[in-house]
Amino acid sequence: MARIIDGKSISAKVRAEVAEKAARFKQQYGRAPGLDVVLVGEDPASQVYVRNKEKAALEAGMAGKLHRLPASTSERDLLALVNQLNQNDAVDGILVQFPVPSQIRQTEVIRTIDPRKDVDGLNPLNAGALASGDTALAPCTPLGCIRLLREIEANLAGAEAVVVGRSNLVGKPVAQLLLLQNATVTVAHSKTRDLPAVCRRADVLVAAIGRAKMLNAAHVKPGAIVIDVGMNRDEHGKLCGDVDFAAVESIASAITPVPGGVGPMTIAMLLENTVTAGIARLSAR
């Protein structure tokens, strides 16, 4: 049976590390690291995510503010707020919770956030730096995937990694981060020919395709490490990942559960990104 990779305990470890860094930050710079979150509208899932982020930031000894805007907010007004936060020296990280209402272009929001404060790692300058192998703020979920892998496999050099999914939020950046760990990386997707055969090459299989239980026993090499980024509902309305956990657990050497695997890591890495961004910006002066 596979080892279950406990994202809850590992994220708690990361948050404890962040709290120590935040305390040193405050001692050095005279204030706590600042994370400002912007929520436009009243999407129920977004409200839950934002509450969890706010709670985790406070527990880590960080400062910041939640900006709640009505669903009718114009793109111009949202971008004006983002620019204010760009100019605010007490703000080290800016996160605009997506999705935003239809009158606002998500790409414009991403481009407007100062890359030095882009703790979601989505600004094209950060994405380009990551693709070039330079130091950059990277998206939080991919960072969480790598941290989970490093907790159970210290050396990924030379490992065959297959990432199923090519989104800008997860698939592409996690592939870049795996390359930085010197893994040999293949990016597959729903149009890949003979997807099971491609996946069976993987020592590390990352599922980020957004389809409930799409990957099963036929996709997993015995002994592989499986990182399941998916968050879906199955036919019974129960939370599940992109991997059929029950079918794969006896084949893989280690696997993340859904929930309780990658999910808790996303907020932990957001906090780490905020402290990292603040230190980089202030130490460059």
d(CA 97, CA 173): 19
The whole model's pTM is what? Answer: 0.95
Residues recorded for the chain: 285
d(CA 200, CA 35): 41
Please tell me the chain's helix, strand, coil percentages from 3-state DSSP, rounded to the nearest 5: 45, 15, 40
d(CA 213, CA 241): 6
Q: Which CATH architecture has domain 140-263?
A: 3-Layer(aba) Sandwich (3.40)
7, 21, 32, 61, 225 from 152: Cα distances, Å = 12, 23, 32, 28, 9
Q: Counting beta carbons within 10 angstroms of the beta carbon of residue 164, is it exposed (0 to 12), middle (13 to 18) or buried (19 or more)?
A: buried
| DSSP letters for 212-232 | TT-B-GGG--TT-EEEE---E
Residues forming CATH 3.40.50.10860 domain(s) in the chain: 30-114
Q: Which CATH architecture has domain 30-114?
A: 3-Layer(aba) Sandwich (3.40)
Residues annotated as catalytic (active site), given as ranges: 53, 97, 120
Tell me what pLDDT residue 153 has: 82
Tens of each residue's pLDDT in the chain, 285 residues: 899 999 999 999 999 999 999 999 999 999 999 999 999 999 888 998 899 999 999 999 999 899 999 999 999 999 999 999 999 999 999 999 999 999 999 999 999 999 999 999 999 999 999 999 998 999 999 999 999 999 998 789 999 999 999 999 999 999 999 999 999 999 999 899 999 999 999 999 999 999 999 999 999 999 999 999 999 998 888 999 999 999 999 999 999 999 999 999 999 999 999 999 999 999 988
Residues forming CATH 3.40.50.720 domain(s) in the chain: 140-263
